[in-house]
Structure 1
């Protein structure tokens, strides 16, 4: 089974590249705890999407730590990586978004895979539940969202973006991207739209189980995206939109798999202290080895 981690962000609100911040008790990156959880649940192929300048560093860093039997691919998400026949003449510094990050791995993944953010902590049970789903749906075109509860994914230090889900039983109906969610007076408010939420809603934290069929869909949508008259210097193509379009077209089914555990992110620099404390407590409780990798 394959785990794809997206680590090409710039960390503009965090103040530095949070993917490479030494949050663990022995200087581990946050993504290393997720990789450890994945390996414990049968994942044997790690794909990391990052910036070109970080490829060699991450290859060396992870290969020296991962067991020898684990396949590792570290790939660069590059603005110039476009579908055949497509061009982009404008100026751009920002990557094309999470869907493009996934598409970057099209040549190294040929089976079911889980995809998530490298700068989020998803909790050990989430990987177990995702792995069980992948084993149960190995041969069909059913995708999954590992879902969390909105109120448990907010930051005390500012607004956050979340995909708010409409769910029927364990079936995902839709995902509504909200970019400025913040807790206020016992409710959760989206500052952009003014929408109010109870906080009990299911949300996407970008932990998906996908099949290779997504690569063709991303490429087709990316072509249309590049030809859009509204394409701007910061326009992006997101995974939830791709999956939702496939869902509404009847091309796939998407199940909501309970995360079963904790989540935290490091959106703001002030989130760092919480992350360091949490990982130390988990290590002290024996949930993680110290050091995390036996060959360190």
Structure 2
């Protein structure tokens, strides 16, 4: 049996990349042709992670397994699990559905492979070394949950507006996350849409980029949330159960979620045009 105190990095890698036009988790964007997934695993290893669970689509396993076997040290343990439509706490009709049920469902898929504290990230984002150090330190020091936030201006795209979960923080604890849409530079200020209104937003506002630290008590909360979701929304063609929604519900019930702010830029590819820009930024970070 594994040490229950062992940290596990859960990586959500089952996305389709519809706006990008392909599987972003397989795109070679690093300075030496690495994928974002490989760069994140390298950062995680440096911070102290020795175990990962990758939530994927079945058709990605052979490619990812071959890639990771080449680049990861022998003492790093990784496992694959599938985000399957019929893997829900209750039985639902899935005949109308081809898209997975969202990020809460992705994490739920890893429940049989995780026993102790865990971190959660996206496979197709670059988080930088400081995020993984913050996750290890935070998960090792407290029984609270953790979110690594980024200043908004470090997460923008030069090629279009972005949606971001903007965090409300009190006493270094997350109190709420509000979804802002189409955030972009307009003249000298940043503006985004909140509740149907176009509003100015601070460039330093902390935002959630799916970089979480949890304890094992997240899984019964996911099960409860997915059961409710299945009974109320699974019949809708594009409905999803989002991880931040589950976190907000837990906060409302008294769960403490501490905030750490990353010291690196977050990089991600939302649009095809982002790829060249991200490649250039990663080469600059590597000093090339």
- TM-score above 0.5: yes
TM-score class normalised by the smaller sequence: over 0.9
Q: 2:178 is matched with which residue?
A: 176
Equivalent residue in structure 2 for 1:126, among 128, 131, 134: 131
Q: Is the 8 A contact 1:181 1:191 kept in 2?
A: no
CA deviation string 1:59-106 (max 9, x = no partner): 2221232111111011111112122x4222441111110111000100
Q: Is the 8 A contact 1:179 1:192 kept in 2?
A: no
1:229: Cα distance to partner?
5.5
Equivalent residue in structure 2 for 1:256, among 259, 275, 280: 259
Structure 2 residue 120 is the aligned partner of structure 1 residue 111: no
Looking at structure 1, the residues matched to 195 and 156 of structure 2 have their Cα atoms a distance apart, in angstroms, of 16
- Structure 1 residue ranges, 4+ long, deviating more than 4 angstroms after superposition: none
Q: 2:78 is matched with which residue?
A: 72
Looking at structure 2, the residues matched to 264 and 109 of structure 1 have their Cα atoms a distance apart, in angstroms, of 27
RMSD of equivalent CA atoms:
1.6
Q: 1:165 is matched with which residue?
A: 167
Q: 1:293 is matched with which residue?
A: none
Looking at structure 1, the residues matched to 250 and 15 of structure 2 have their Cα atoms a distance apart, in angstroms, of 26
Q: 1:79 to 1:89 in 2, by over 3 A?
A: closer
Q: 1:292 is matched with which residue?
A: none
Which TM-score applies when normalising by structure 2? 0.92
Q: Map residues 134-145 of structure 1 onto 2, 5 A cutoff.
A: 134-137=139-142, 140=143, 142-145=144-147
Equivalent residue in structure 2 for 1:224, among 228, 233, 251: 228
Q: Mark the runs of 5 or more structure 2 residues left unpaired by the alignment.
A: 1-6
Q: Mark the runs of 5 or more structure 1 residues left unpaired by the alignment.
A: 286-296
Looking at structure 2, the residues matched to 181 and 88 of structure 1 have their Cα atoms a distance apart, in angstroms, of 36
Q: 1:193 is matched with which residue?
A: 196
Q: Map residues 1-296 of structure 1 onto 2, 5 A cutoff.
A: 1-83=7-89, 85-137=90-142, 140=143, 142-185=144-187, 186-190=189-193, 193-196=196-199, 197-228=201-232, 231-250=235-254, 252-284=255-287
Q: How many residues are matched?
A: 280
Q: Is the 8 A contact 1:49 1:76 kept in 2?
A: yes
Q: Is the 8 A contact 1:55 1:74 kept in 2?
A: yes
Q: Is the 8 A contact 2:150 2:209 kept in 1?
A: yes
Which TM-score applies when normalising by structure 1? 0.90
Q: 1:192 to 1:249 in 2, by over 3 A?
A: closer
